[in-house]
Amino acid sequence: MLLLGALSGAVTIKAGTMLDTLNQEVTSIYENAHDAIVRVHAEHNLQLGEFPFESSHHIGTGFFIDSGGRLLTAAAVVDNSDRCWIDWRGQRLAARILGRDPHTNLALLQADLAQLAEANRRTTALPLGNSDELRVGSMVIAIGFPYDLPSAPVVGFVGGFDVKCGGHAFALPYIRASCKLSPGQGGGPLLNARGEVVGLVVATHQGDQCYALPIRGAQKVVADITRYGEPRHGWVGLGVAERQVGPTETVSNQWRVFIQEVFSNTPAAKAGFREGDTLVRIHTNDVRRLCDVLNSVFYYRCGETTTITVMRDGQPRTDVRGQPTQVSIVIGEWPTQAIVRSAGRLVPNAPSNQTPVAIPAAAGHR
């Protein structure tokens, strides 16, 4: 009995020490990050004929990505607002929307530089991490402004990397984390255990989880908006799906991604792809699951060229010498919404016909 009691006490002490360490780490990360996280306001004036009808007021969270006042938030927070501003260090700063991307649910804002200069302030930017390093089970911390309360951290763990949620197909695999968020926290950062941003929180899922756009994907969209003034997503014109291989198939990979539909007058159609072709490789990236397709295609822009290797009728497409053929394909422009709706399939890098469930704005503001 004495031995068991001693062991029990040792386990309790060890668990307590671990929790104390975790508590200190989370507190430290929050204290280092909270100064770069802001409350975002967006106001949209509604008209009834010639007269103002009412004004809708959305509130969410955002975070600075540089010392010049640029910040990220969810596109659903600012929507098509007529006026935006942020609360930062007890000061109200006007903000301008530099660009919105409903496809990924990201918005890039610019805090008023004149107000910053007048206050002799430069914004504090959060360090950006590598979202590709995340694994299922990685600890993450979401920080945002719940309701009308001060900012607060929510600790969770990565539960998966999903390509869709219900009827909505994501632009690329989104981070699903066990962070239960409140209204007003949408648009905030998702941090790793080093306090680096690895995602932009854009949606809730089943009440006790959230989805975040990986920061690598956010950086691509920000680069597009900075250079072109708008996102520059490309597409190839394929509807794809995945299936498990049959029991008689002897392959190292238990999943295959195949082409369900080739849209007419698209780069894929011109390159000679057919329904039923199995995707093997995009450029140098092997294709095993749908996430491999999205992770490869998302980062291309319209006009860029890549190569795709496929199998047809169970055999690699080959050239006249019998060697596997890498088909060169030029990335095309986004299709119209009508094309995507008619397909009803997962189309890499095409806008979905449904909007992901956004974290609602703070309650009680109209």
Please, what are the domains in the chain? Answer: 36-118 (2.40.10.10), 131-228 (2.40.10.10), 238-333 (2.30.42.10)
Query: Using 50, 70 and 90 to split pLDDT, how confident is the model at 12?
Result: low
pLDDT at 215 over 50: yes
More reliable by pLDDT, 316 or 139: 139
pLDDT at 356 over 70: no
Residue 55: per-residue pLDDT? 72
Bridge partners (DSSP) of residue 318 are 324
Cα dist. 4→13, 16, 103 in Å?
14, 18, 58
Q: Model-level pTM? A: 0.85
Query: Using 50, 70 and 90 to split pLDDT, how confident is the model at 135?
Result: very high
Query: Using 50, 70 and 90 to split pLDDT, how confident is the model at 171?
Result: confident
- Kindly write down the DSSP assignment for every residue of 107-155, as one continuous string: EEEEE-HHHHHHTT--PPPPPB--GGG--TT-EEEEEE--TTSPPEEEE
pLDDT at 53 over 80: no
Instruction: Read off the pLDDT of each residue in 273-282 and give the average, rounded to a whole number.
Output: 90
Question: Which residue shows structure tokens 């975070």?
Answer: 63
Which residue type sits at 2?
L
The burial class, CB within 10 Å (0-12 / 13-18 / 19+), for 27 is: exposed
pLDDT at 24 over 60: yes
The alpha carbon of 358 is separated from its chain's Cα centroid by a whole number of angstroms, namely 12
Q: Quote the mean pLDDT of the chain.
A: 84
Rounded Cα–Cα distance for residues 192 and 176 (Å): 13
